[in-house]
Amino acid sequence: MGLTTVSYAQVSHLATAAPEQKAKGLQKYLTLTNDQTAKVAAIYKESAQKFEIIKTAQHSNSDKMANPILSLRAVTIKKIKGVLTPQQAAKFDGMIKQAKKNGGIDWGGGWSTRTPAKSLTDGHFC
């Protein structure tokens, strides 16, 4: 349990970080290559941009944003897993499950580059 707690603490704070920071966090935790890290950073950057489009289009209305953001989250996770080896993907899945279990944001979420907040409109659950 101690290792899980430390791992969760190390990665959960990156959920609302800049795309490059999030990718570097995954690089460290999943031992990504530099090429994988660059691809993951690009995926996070694209997701952050799409999140902002959704937010603007829905006027920051979290009820209206929920479904598009769930879809964005699923697509982003799928793209990231497409860059990973099977072993890395399994570890990534474990990170997501553990974060949810601990009641925090998971690695599939938080694409907004804004300051962390406990609301959907600030990217906390996106």
Could you tell me the two tokens for 44? Answer: 């996070």
37-89 tens-digit pLDDT: 999 999 999 999 998 999 899 888 888 888 898 899 889 999 999 999 999 99
**At residue 49, what is the residue type?**
Q
Residues 20 and 43: their CA atoms lie apart, in Å, by 10
Q: What is the dihedral of CA 47, 101, 23, 60, to 10 degrees?
A: 30
Reduced to 3 states, what is the DSSP secondary structure of residue 90? Answer: helix
Radius of gyration of the chain (CA): 14
Strands (E), 1-126: none
Instruction: Name the pTM for this structure.
Output: 0.70
Task: Give me the residue spans of the domains in the chain.
Answer: 2-122
